[in-house]
Amino acid sequence: MKKIIATIVCTLCTVVIFAQLVWLSVDKQPFAGTYSRNYHQLLTTWQNQAALAYIPAITAGIRTERRFMLSAIHQHDAGIVLPVTRGGFGLHLTQTGSAHFRQQSIGFAYGRPLGERLSIGTQFSYLSRQVPGYFHAHTIIAELGCLIHLTPQLHAGMHVFNPAGSRLQKPGNEQVPAVYSAGIGYEISAVLLLSAALVKESAMATLTKVMCEYRIIRELSLQLGICTDPQLNTAAVEVSLQQLHIQLSASHHPQLGMTPAASFVWQVKKGH
């Protein structure tokens, strides 16, 4: 009976997770700040490692979401960025699932500028999936990204997840999808950013997302996003309390429902 229950839970979790970009959480689809020069923060480095070139101080944070309000597929992220003379290093940990079905990844990343108009980044991650007591599968995944600053206000970027088409090593040797994204952002002013992105997962339709970020005051900002196929609307509010940044967000899928999320990011004060 335990084996049957574990199989059912594994199947249901797999279906839901794979319906929304398998290894990417709902809000790991690009944020507006991903395509910018002055709006980068810890979460954007998880979406495009080239952003590591623009994090000015040691930064650490955690993020948690309950995907579609299902306790069986919670996702928790933790990460840290360490700036160096030329760019920055990043560590990103992710866990999705429950005691009966779990996906985990640990990724090491590096990003650096190549002149004033270009930055590049890469990440290598160890991914694993397991049903405790029944099976364990794993693989190594690479990610590559770049950001191009066409003008002081206009920016573009590209990112690819798993370009080599890695497969899980036992059981079943399941293919991990490749995910390609490209976008453009326009900093209308120091307080308003508009962005648009295309995301293509292998064997699935291209997703289009339009986003904006508005800094109402220095301590408060609002982010909005609308995307298609799947239709997914997102909203986030971020409060900055000196070195601590708190973001509360939610996404809505017309069939699967709400996904609430929260993140807490702490950045060492510049000059320390």
Q: What is the DSSP string of 89-150?
A: EEEEEEEEE-SSSEEEEEEEEEEEESSSSEEEEEEEEEEEEEETTTEEEEEEEEEEEEEEES
112 versus 165: the higher-pLDDT residue is 112
Report the alpha-carbon distance of residue 1 to residue 18 in Å, rounded.
26
Question: Which pLDDT value is given to residue 255?
Answer: 81
Which pLDDT tens digit goes with each residue over 4-44?
Answer: 444 444 444 444 444 444 444 444 567 788 999 889 999 99
**Scanning the structure block, which residue is given the tokens 């993140």?**
263
Question: Which pLDDT value is given to residue 172?
Answer: 65
Where in the chain are the domains?
28-208
pLDDT band at 79 (very low <50, low <70, confident <90, very high): very high
Which pLDDT tens digit goes with each residue over 128-160?
Answer: 887 777 777 889 999 999 999 999 999 999 999
- Judge whether residue 244 has pLDDT over 90: yes
74: burial class by Cβ within 10 Å (0-12, 13-18, 19+)? middle
CA 39: distance to chain centroid?
15
- Judge whether residue 161 has pLDDT over 50: yes
Q: Which segment of 3-7, 31-35, 223-227, 255-259 scores lowest on mean pLDDT?
A: 3-7
Residue 168, CA atoms < 13 Å, CB-side half-sphere: 21
**Scanning the structure block, which residue is given the tokens 């990103």?**
92
Which pLDDT tens digit goes with each residue over 80-116?
Answer: 999 999 999 999 999 887 777 778 899 999 999 999 9
Q: What is the reported pTM?
A: 0.84
